[in-house]
Amino acid sequence: MPLAHGEKLSTYRIQALPSSHLLKVLGFRKGTQFTIQSKQPFKGPIVVKVGNRSIAIDYDIANEILVEEVVQN
């Protein structure tokens, strides 16, 4: 499922992502886990929390990042 369809406060793991230099240096690789911290109105960016940092990802890019939900217990 595309990250853009994810839900706030759920945790996901990246399955596939577009090749982008900036995504890479911000620490997004296959298998990276994160939690969605906030979603913005009008298809604004999705803010995800990877470790201790918050990263805002444009809606269209988030649409190209495929993720699976990580079920936490």
Partner 1 sequence: MNCHGDAAAQVKPGNNKMKILLMGNPNVGKSVVFSKLTGVHVDSSNYTGTTVDYTIGDINFGKQQGVMIDVPGTYSLEATSEAEKVAVALLEEGADVVICVLDATHLERNLGLAFELKEYPIPIIYCLNLMDVAERQGIKIDAEKLAEELGSPVIPTVAIKNQGLRELMQTAVKLSKERKDSEPKLDEEEKWNRIKEIVSKVQAQVDKELTFIEKLEDWTIQPWPGIPIAILVLIASLGVVVGGGKALRAVVLLPLVKQVIVPFLTKIISLVIPAGIFRNVLVGEFGILVIGIEWPFALILPYVFLFYVVFSFLEDSGYLPRIGVLADGVLRRIGIQGGNIIPMMLGYGCAVPAILGTRAANTNKERIMVAALVSFAVPCASQSGAFFALLGDKSIFALIFVYLLSILAMLAVGVILDRIIPGKSQPMLLEVPNLLLPDKDAYKKKLKLRMKHFMMDAEGAMFIGIIVAAIIAETGILNEFSKLLGPFVEGWLGLPKEASLSLLLGIIRRELAVLPMLEMNLNTLQLTVGAIVALFYLPCLSVFGVLTKEFSLKTALFIALITIVSAFLFGGLFNQVGRLILGLMG
CB 64 to partner 1: min, Å? 10
The H or E element that residue 13 is part of is: strand 11-16
Binding test (CB under 8 A) with partner 1, winner from 11, 35, 37, 66: 37
Number of residues that bind partner 1 (CB under 8 A): 30
CB 10 to partner 1: min, Å? 15
Least Cα distance to 31 among 49, 41, 16 occurs for 16
56 token code pair: 């805002």
Tell me the one-letter amino acid at 15. Q
66 binds partner 1 (CB under 8 A): no
| CB-based contact 13:28 (threshold 8 Å) | no
Residue whose CB is less far from partner 1, 1 or 8: 8
- List interacting residues with partner 1 (CB under 8 A): 20-27, 29, 37-45, 47, 51-61
